[in-house]
Each structure stands twice: as structure tokens, then as C-alpha cells.
Chains A and B, each alone.
Chain A
Amino acid sequence: MRQAIVTKTPVILKDFTKGLWQENPVFRLLIGMCPTLAVTSQAQNGLAMGLATSFTLIASSIVVSIFRKLIPKEVRIPSYILIIATFVTIVSLYLQAKFPDISKNLGPYIPLIIVNCLILGRQEVFASKNPTHRAAADALGMGLGFTISLAALGMVRELLGSGTIFSFKVLGDGFRPWIIMLTPPGAFLSLGLMLGMINIIDRFLKTKKGFFPKFDAKKGRT
């Protein structure tokens, strides 16, 4: 009993932090790539898409986790998609009403949150098997990791493509924008190179046992 109380926090914390680096959805698991590439020509759009996806992910993870014992195994995927689609409709209508500019920029990619494999994947792998508080922590971490990745990619592309970050001018007049970074090829190229960089950093951290101390899985669980 005492052990259970002692170890409760690290499990949730681990569920939360693993989405940030070790299992970062964009750079490590490579899921949810369609919106990642499509909307990150500006940092602001990337951030908005990340937040919209996070909201859907957190809300549907909680709902799926609450109903996990009631949903029959055979129809679980359609049920998850239905729950996700409902929340995406809410997000879409909310953005249309409150932030028409962002809604216009993200355009057809908002409904595609439904089929974002990140969300469906988390329901299948995590939320359908774990209690609600852990599912929420996991969804929060994954959503945050996704949002940060999108914003980072958006910042790189916006900086090189138009010399601004979040529409603030950063590079002076002498800088000639690389228009290609705003077009589809630039999206692929910059994400590819960023993956390479992340791999180098990750290898560096693993050899030096650096900034991100790992939680011991055995200690955390029993």
C-alpha cells in the first residue's frame, strides 16, 4: 500500500514527459505528419493546429478512457473515430466563430484532425487500456509534444521563408527570403533535415547521459 502511494506520481509524470522527447509524435514516432507538413508555413498556424489537435486528443482520450469497459472490442475503432469526429466538429465550429483568420488559414486541414493517426493511435495504444488520469496525462504530454514540434518547424520555415517569427520581423532587410521554404518541397526538406538534427542530438544525449534523466520503468510501475 505504501509503495503504491510512493510510486503513483512518477507513473503519471512518466506518461506526461514521454511525449515530449522520447516518444515525441512528430520527430520520434513519425505520426500525424499530414498537418505537420501542411500548415507549418507560418509558426502561428503551426501553433494553432497543435492546440486544436491537443484539445481533441485530450478530450477524446478522457472520454474513451471513461467508456473503455463499455465499448465492445469489435466496434472499437468506429467508436473512437465517432468520438474524435464529434470533438473535431466542436473545434471547427469554435475556430470559425472566434478566430475566422486562423480557421481560413488552416482551411481543409481542420477536419483532417479526425484521421490524424496520432489521436487514433493514442486511443488504441493507451487510453483504451489505462485509467482516466493516466490517459489524460498521456494525452497532455503527447499534445504538448506535438504542439511544440509544429511550432518549431513553423518557426524555422517562417524564419527562412519570410524572415519573420510569429509575424515579427527578425532578419533585416538584407536578408533575401527563401521562397521555397513556404512551398511544399520546403516542408519536406526542412522536416527531413530537422529529423536528422534531432537524431544527432538524441545520440549525443544518450552517450553523455545528458539533460533528460530517464525514469526507470521498473521502479515506476511496481
Chain B
Amino acid sequence: MIRELVLVFVAAVLVNNFVLKYFLGICPFLGVSDNLHSAVSMGFATTFVMSITAPVAWCIKHFVLDKLGLPFLEYVCFIIVIASLVQFVEMVIKKFYPALHQAMGIYLPLITTNCAILFMALQLVLREYSLLRSIVFGFGSGLGFTLAITIMAGIREEIEFCDVPRCLKGPGITLIIAGLLALIFVGLGGLIKVN
């Protein structure tokens, strides 16, 4: 049981990294990774929302959509849940943890359109995970996103002092670095066997 959970976790963080294997959340990955502090804030805000979304999506699928026989409403339902959850989380944080809100305030609304979250919700339904596994999967995927964006921000802070060809400045060189990072993560593929 615990072994399975660890496998799901490691797979989500390293082997099937959401950013570098599935290309999810590329917009924040390119947009917010120019400084380390905001990258880490964005990463943790996303992890937070993903950990909450996973169990909620699971419950909606099993207690509402399956009971009522409305599988075609999956997309609409999940995206509404995510959008309102992000709004709700923002309000709660603003009310009770103003300092935290100041740190990641502007990133929270952006998370609604982070495709990693919708993908995660749809995948845990598709893979028929149990509730506990879904939570671990959601948390692990968020952590994988945080890992990727943090590494990227660290490299980009260094690259500001390098002589990059003019045509590749900005997004071009960022994508090439992401390619090299993805190459490294491909190497981690043999770590465990994932279906």
C-alpha cells in the first residue's frame, strides 16, 4: 500500500514530470521563471491548489457525475470546480494569512488557466485512482511543477550574464534550456516502471 503511494509520488515528481514530460503549465514555466523568488511562490501556490483539487475532483466524479450518469459534463464540471476553488483559496488566504497572500497574490488567479491542474483532475479519473492515491498524485504533480520551475529560474538568473545570440534572447534560449532539462529527466525514466 505504502509502496504504491511512494511509486505514484516518485512517478509524478520525477519520472513523469508534468512540465518536462507532458508539457503542462508551460505558460507560467516560461513567464514566471525569470526570478527565483516568484518562481518558488508560483510553484507552491500551484502545489497548494493541486493538492486540494485532487480530492475534490475525485469526490465530484464518484459522488455526483457517476451517480447522476452525466459523464459528458466532466470537462465543464471540473473547470468550474477549479475556477471556484482558486477563487475560494484566494479569499481564504487573503483573510487569514495576509503575508502569504502578498507573497503569492498575483499568481493565484493565473492558476485557473494552468493546464496542469485540469490535466491532473482528468488523469486521476482516467487512471481510476483511489482517493488516497489521488491526493498523493495531486501533491506530487504540484511538487514536480515546483521543482521544474525552480531549477529553470535558477538557471535563468545565471544566464542573464551570458552572451546569448541576439535572436535567441528571452523565450528562445529558455526553451532550449528546457529541452536540455527534459533530456536529464528522460534519464530518470528508468528509475521505476510506470504504466
Contact = CB atoms under 8 A, between A and B. Distances in A.
A30 interface: yes
Contacts of A203: 167
Contacts of A199: 166-168, 172
A185 B118 contact: no
A174 interface: no
Interface stretch (A5-13, A64-72, A133-141, A186-194): A186-194
Given A34-B27, A85-B76, A117-B27, A185 B183 contact: yes
Contacts, number: 120
Contacts of B76: 82, 85-86, 89
A78 B176 contact: no
A77 B178 CA distance: 30
A200 interface: yes
A114 B79 contact: yes
Question: Chain B's interface: helix, strand, loop or mixed, by majority?
Answer: helix
Interface in A160-197: 180, 183-189, 191-193, 195-197
Contact of B180 (A111, A115, A185, A195): A185
A120 B83 CA distance: 13
Interface residues of A, number: 41
B175 to A, nearest CB: 3
B176 A111 contact: no
Interface string A190-217: 0111011101100100000000000000
Interface string B66-105: 0000001111100110011000000000000000000000
Interface of A: 30-31, 33-34, 37-38, 77-78, 81-82, 85-86, 88-89, 92-93, 108, 111-112, 114-117, 120, 180, 183-189, 191-193, 195-197, 199-200, 203
Given A34-B24, A195-B175, 14 more contacts: A30-B30, A77-B112, A92-B75, A108-B123, A111-B74, A111-B75, A111-B122, A114-B75, A115-B115, A184-B23, A185-B179, A188-B175, A189-B175, A193-B172
